[in-house]
Structure 1
Amino acid sequence: MDLRQLHYFTAVVENGTISEAARKLHLSQPPLSTQIKLLETECGVTLFERGARHITLTEAGRVLYRHAVQILSMAKTTEEEMQNLRYGKQGSVHIGLISSCASPEFFKVIRTFHQHFPGVIFKVTERNTFDLLTLLENGQIELAVIRTPYHSRGLETLTLREDPFAAVFSAEKAPLGETSLAIQQLAQLPLIIYRRWEQEIRLLFQDRDLKPNIVCVNEDARTTLQWASAGLGAALVPRSVAASFPHLTAVSVDAPRLTSKLQLVRRKNAPISQNAFNLFALFEKNIKAKK
C-alpha cells in the first residue's frame, strides 16, 4: 500500500465511479481498476460493492477511506512544511477558527508568536465548532479555537475568554438608557438566536413562566447579527461576537448561566508540529500569567 494507491482509492470514492475518477485523474480506466484490485488484494478485503452505475463502499472500504483521508492530509502537510523549511519559511501551523473568534485575547498571543517566529505561516481553516472538531480528530488541523458547549473528551483545552451573553440591536432599535436587560424585558422583544443556544435560551424563559418571541433561528452567529443589523430584532449572542459589528449596540443580559467559553483545543497525546506545540504553550503561559 502506498500514497498513490490511497490517492486513487479516495478519488474513486469521492467521484462515485472508476470511470469518473479515471477522468479526473487523467488516467485510462483499466490501469486505475488494476490499482484498486491490487489494493483489495493487499488488504485482503473487498473495498467496493460494484453496481451497474455506481460503487458502494463496504464496511472495510469505509474504514480504509477514513484512514486514507487522514494519511493523505498528513502527507500533504508534511510536504508543505518541508517546502517551507527549504525556502526558509520555518514551517507552518494548521489552526481552525470559528467565525466568531473576534477575541483580543486570541490576537494578542498571535501577535506575540509572530514576533518570535516571523517565518511561520498560519494555515487557517474556518468552520463551525463541530466541523473543526472533526478536522481535529482526522488530523487535518493541529489546533482549533471553538466555543462551548461541545464534548471535550480526549481534548486538552485552554479557556481564552468566558463570554456572558448580550442582546445586540441596530442603532434605531437599541433601548435608551438600558445597561442590562432582564429576561422579562427580553420576553417583550423579537429575538434572533443561533441554534446551538436555542435550548438553553428557551429554558431561561420557561423557568420564569415566560414565552420568548423568537423570530429567527439560524446556524451562524454572524447571521444572527446580520438580522439584528437589519432591525429585525435583538440578537442573543456571546458579547465578544458583537465586536465584529461595531455599528451595533450590545446590552448586557441578566442571565449569569447564559455564557459561552472561547477555547483553544488540541487532541491529547496526538502528534503535532513543533510550531503548533510552541503556539499552544504560549497561550498556556499567557493564561497562567493572568491568574
Structure 2
Amino acid sequence: MELATLKAFQAVAESGSFSKAGEILFLTQPAVSKRIASLEDGLDLKLFDRIGKHISLTEAGRTLLPEAQKILSQVDESKRLLANLSNRVGGSLHIATSHHIGLHRLPAILQNFTHHHPDVDLELSFMDSEKALRLIEIGKLELA
C-alpha cells in the first residue's frame, strides 16, 4: 500500500466522487481510478460499489477508511515532529494562484522560498479564485 493510493482512497471516500477526488488531489479522474484499482487489486477486495455515477463504500471500504485516515495523519505528524527536531521548516504547502500571477510574479518568490526551505513539499496549482476558496474552506489548500 502506497501513501498516494491511500490519499486517493480517502479523497474518493470523503468526496463521494472520483472526479471530485481528482480535483482535490490535482489529478485526473482516470489517474484516481487507476490508483483505486491498484489498491483494490493489491488487497484483493472491492472498496467501492459503483452504480452509475453513484459510489458507496463496501464493508471493506468502511473498515479501511478510518485506518487510512490514521495512517495519513500519523505520517503528516511524523514529518512535522521530525522537522521540529531539526529546527527546519518542513511539511507540505498547498497553494493556488491564477495563471498570470503564477507565471509572471511568483517564480522568483517561489524559487527563493524553496531555496531557503528545501524540506517543504510545495504544491502549486492554477485555478480561479472561487475554486481556490472552496479548497481552502475544506482544508485542501493553505494559501491562494
Structure 1 residue 73 and structure 2 residue 58: aligned? Answer: no
Q: Name the counterpart of 2:85.
A: 85
Structure number with the higher strand fraction is 1
Deviation at 1:88, TM superposition (A): 7.2
Distance 2:53 2:30 in 1: 17
Q: Name the counterpart of 1:40.
A: 40
Distance 2:60 2:68 in 1: 12
After superposition, give the CA deviation of every residue in 1:70-127 in whole Å (9 maximum; x if it has no partner).
11111111010011111079xxxxxxxxxxxxxxxxxxxxxxxxxxxxxxxxxxxxxx
Q: Name the counterpart of 1:274.
A: none
| Identical positions, percent | 40
Distance 1:51 1:23 in 2: 21
The count of aligned residue pairs is 89
Deviation at 1:54, TM superposition (A): 2.3
Q: Name the counterpart of 2:51.
A: 51
Q: Name the counterpart of 1:12.
A: 12
Deviation at 1:48, TM superposition (A): 0.2
Residues 179-194 of structure 1 correspond to what in structure 2 (within 5 A)? none
Distance 1:44 1:84 in 2: 39
Q: Which runs of 5+ in 2 are unaligned?
A: 90-144
Change (3 A) 1:38 1:88: closer
Q: Which runs of 5+ in 1 are unaligned?
A: 90-291
Deviation at 1:53, TM superposition (A): 2.7
Distance 1:10 1:54 in 2: 16
Structure with larger Rg: 1
Structure number with the higher helix fraction is 2
Distance 2:53 2:7 in 1: 22
Q: What amino acid is the match of 1:12?
A: V
Residues 191-202 of structure 1 correspond to what in structure 2 (within 5 A)? none
Structure 1 residue 31 and structure 2 residue 45: aligned? Answer: no
Partner SS for 2:49? strand
Distance 2:41 2:88 in 1: 43
Q: What amino acid is the match of 2:84?
A: N
Normalising by the residue count of structure 2, what TM-score does the alignment of the two structures yield? 0.59
